[in-house]
């Protein structure tokens, strides 16, 4: 905490001494949760679906994110973000120190007169288009965004792992992990379209005595295209994401996976109603599935809590959802959804996959009350039932919480 306070003091001093404008924003929440039959017994951060009558528990957690933007002028600034006590209250498995503060972002932005914007440093990355398939986190990048008459073009180089400084290895430099990307955003009428191609060479960790230094390790080519907009009174967002993964030599089984997402909605009086279709393919030879991932919180239990399918979100699954959101009274809104999930996972000649032909359904209910601008109290309840084909089914999983959050 002392280091953080000193840093804030330095920011304030810099702002006054060098005519730098300091802009602060952020968010904070405290949440109390109850989980029934949703315990993680083996420590893999996934609910143990093959265990019935799992222990139930309740807990509190909190998180604060503080954004500090140091603006030199309208064309140049530095953006930082600090996560402050992102933790479960008094968790015996977490360090209980006064230094639970992490600098998660720090990057420079400059706009040139040509309409070119440069971003360099530790910035947010891992997301594109919609939230489908996204897991946004801190990424070390140099990124160029060029304004175009019909939209914008973006390209970046991303450092995932640095091995070149390990000079004891002759070929250490080629064992880095780097990503290269190019994307486009443009509009066609009321529709915004966003294609992106990312190529990643991941040779990190291969510079040791047991692996040939000439290997490229793992190579991933990703193609993503998202679209969002409206057709008359129907609004929509959609995304297609394809990943091709190849391993040099015999370090893994090559595979291809892809995901499809469509969300269509409309307003009936003041009620928003919609339907979602989300599909994640599965490669049975490699036993790998497309992960809807951490940011795509389709449901409270199966997606956000369980990670049904073995990933951060639903993985190797197909999901169908209907939902509604409506104002109940001034400052109070309510929402509900019903989701049905079928498994696309399969076993092969050497592996039995217990999720083959599995199904599940979930009912989610929620409400939010705006106490004042930026301050919201919300409650949520989720009930999920999983059917494992030909096996004993786990007990239904219930997740409920209430939460107070502030944005400023």
Strand 375-387 and strand 359-372: the pairing is antiparallel
Determine, yes or no, domain membership for 130. Answer: no
Q: Please indicate, yes or no, if residue 177 is contained in any of the structural domains.
A: yes
Which residue, 253, 261, 254, 182, is CA-closest to 223? 182
In a domain, 89, yes or no: no
**What does pTM read for this prediction?**
0.89
Strand partners for 256: 244
Looking at the domain assignment, is residue 215 inside a domain?
yes
Query: What whole-number distance in Å separates Cα of residue 270 and Cα of residue 19?
Result: 47
Q: How far apart are the first and last CA of the chain?
A: 21
pLDDT along the chain (408 residues), means of 10: 59 63 96 84 47 75 95 96 90 59 94 98 97 97 97 97 68 78 96 98 60 69 98 97 89 92 97 98 96 96 92 96 97 98 94 92 98 98 93 88 98
**Contact, 317 vs 346, CB < 8 A?**
no
Q: In which element (H, E) is residue 392 found?
A: none
- Residue 165 belongs to domain spanning: 28-63+138-407
Q: Are 144 and 127 in contact (CB under 8 A)?
A: no
> For 395, how many CA atoms within 13 A lie in the half-sphere containing its CB?
13
Q: Distance between CA 345 and CA 315 in Å, rounded?
A: 9
Beta-carbon neighbour count of residue 35 at 10 Å? 21
Instruction: Give 353's strand partners.
Output: none
The set of residues, in sequence order, having a beta carbon less than 8 Å from that of 264 and lying 6+ positions away, is 234, 235, 236, 274, 275
The total of structural domains in the chain comes to 1
Domain membership flag for residue 371: yes
The residues that bridge with 117 in the sheet, in sequence order, are 111, 145
Place of tokens 């999930």: 341
Cβ-in-10-Å burial (0-12, 13-18, 19+) of 321 comes to buried
- Number of residues written out for the chain: 408
Q: How far apart are alpha carbons 386 and 51 in whole angstroms?
A: 12
> Which of 370, 287, 386, 381 shows the shortest CA–CA distance to 333?
370
Residue 167 lies in a domain: yes
Q: By C-alpha distance, which of 276, 259, 233, 267 is closest to 364?
A: 276
Q: Is there a domain that residue 70 lies in?
A: no
pLDDT at 209: 43
The CB density around residue 308, as the number of other CB atoms within 10 Å, is: 29
CA 265 to CA 286: how far, in whole Å?
A: 36
Q: What's the CATH number where 180 sits?
A: 2.40.160.100
Residue 13 forms part of a structural domain: no
- φ/ψ region of 169 (left if φ > 0, alpha if ψ in -120 to 50, else beta) reads beta
Taking alpha carbons only, the member of 195, 188, 286, 277 closest to residue 244 is: 286
User: What is the H or E stretch that residue 4 is in?
Assistant: helix 2-17
């Amino acid at each position: 905490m002392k280091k953080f306070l000193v840093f804030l003091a330095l920011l304030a001093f810099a702002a006054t001494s060098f005519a730098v404008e300091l802009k602060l924003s952020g968010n904070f929440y405290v949440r109390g949760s109850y989980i029934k039959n949703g315990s993680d017994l083996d420590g893999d951060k996934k609910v143990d679906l093959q265990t019935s009558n799992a222990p139930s528990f309740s807990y509190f957690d909190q998180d604060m994110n503080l954004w500090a933007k140091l603006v030199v002028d309208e064309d140049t600034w530095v953006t930082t973000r600090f996560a402050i006590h992102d933790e479960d209250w008094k968790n015996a498995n977490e360090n209980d120190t006064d230094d639970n503060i992490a600098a998660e972002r720090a990057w420079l932005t400059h706009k040139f007169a040509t309409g070119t914007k440069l971003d360099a440093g530790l910035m947010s990355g891992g997301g594109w288009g919609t939230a489908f398939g996204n897991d946004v986190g801190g990424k070390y990048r140099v990124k160029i965004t060029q304004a175009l008459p019909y939209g914008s073009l973006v390209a970046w180089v991303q450092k995932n792992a640095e091995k070149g400084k390990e000079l004891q290895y002759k070929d250490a430099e080629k064992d880095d992990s780097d990503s290269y990307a190019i994307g486009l955003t443009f509009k066609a009428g009321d529709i915004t379209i966003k294609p992106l191609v990312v190529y990643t060479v991941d040779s990190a960790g291969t510079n040791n005595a047991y692996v040939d230094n000439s290997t490229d390790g793992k190579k991933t080519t990703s193609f993503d295209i998202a679209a969002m907009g409206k057709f008359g009174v129907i609004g929509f967002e959609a995304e297609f994401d394809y990943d091709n993964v190849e391993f040099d030599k015999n370090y893994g089984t090559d595979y291809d996976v892809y995901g499809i997402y469509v969300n269509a909605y409309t307003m009936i009086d003041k009620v928003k109603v919609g339907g979602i279709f989300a599909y994640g393919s599965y490669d049975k030879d490699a036993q790998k599935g497309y992960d809807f991932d951490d940011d795509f919180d389709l449901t409270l239990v199966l997606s956000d809590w369980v990670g049904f399918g073995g990933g951060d979100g639903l993985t190797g699954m197909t999901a169908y959802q209907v939902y509604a959101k409506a104002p109940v009274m001034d400052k109070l809104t309510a929402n509900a959804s019903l989701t049905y999930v079928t498994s696309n996972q399969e076993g092969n000649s050497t592996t039995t996959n217990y999720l083959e032909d599995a199904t599940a359904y979930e009912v989610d209910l929620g409400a939010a009350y705006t106490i004042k601008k930026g301050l919201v109290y919300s409650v949520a309840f989720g009930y999920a039932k999983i059917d494992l084909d030909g096996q004993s089914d786990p007990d239904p999983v219930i997740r409920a919480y209430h939460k107070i959050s502030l944005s400023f």
